[in-house]
A = this chain, B = another copy of it.
Amino acid sequence: MKDRRLNATAASLLGFLHWGPMSGWDLTALAQEVIGDFWSLTRSQVYRELAWMEKAGLVRAGARGSRERQPYELTDAGRSAFAAWADTEPSPETIRFPLLLKISFGRYLDPARLAEFVESHRAIHARRLAGYQTQAAAGDPDDPYRSATLDFGIRYERAVLQWFDALPAALRRGARSAGRGGPGGGRGG
């Protein structure tokens, strides 16, 4: 039975299974589309969680279909595990932003190279914003939860793009006196 606590990824799979039985493949695709913008997950982990949840009795495996396709359906235990998860306080978000990391160490980078990185990221974010706006315009107006998460995406991408706009000037402004800040600061402990 293994009463390890449900992690958020496993819980989201249970959430999707409320729609009906699905295979790992389907769940991966659906999750990617519906929550992929703010909850990263991978095929590997989907299958791993599914296997574990089956052993734990939260889902039930159906008969294999074609191409080894393995559908799973929600059990009552799964439904109540999901409900328990839904009732727990979510922890704060985590962000890992490699571009910001590089900017942090910008003094060791070639400014032109850094500018390239920024431009290519700008393109990515512009495309994402456009995609969200299309979805928001075309989306089901009766699903406020979907609208709410889309709205987050739109606001986030707008903030990032505005930051990009302000960035070149901000980086030039400090380019005067290389000033203080050399090595060996009071950090040695």
User: A3 an interface residue at 8 Å Cβ cutoff?
Assistant: no
Main secondary structure of the interface of A (DSSP, over half): helix
- Most chain B CB within 10 A, of A12, A94, A179, is at A179
Nearest CB in chain B to that of A168: its residue: B148
Contact A154 B184 (CB under 8 A): yes
CB of A43, distance to nearest CB on chain B (Å): 15
11 example contacts (A-B, Cβ-Cβ < 8 A) are as follows A19-B183, A22-B189, A26-B187, A93-B98, A93-B100, A103-B149, A107-B145, A145-B171, A151-B167, A151-B178, A155-B159
Residues of A at under 8 Å CB distance from B? 8, 11-12, 15, 18-23, 25-26, 30, 34-35, 37-40, 69, 82-83, 86-87, 89-110, 113, 116-117, 120-121, 124, 132-133, 136-137, 139-152, 154-156, 158-160, 162-163, 166-167, 170-185, 187-189
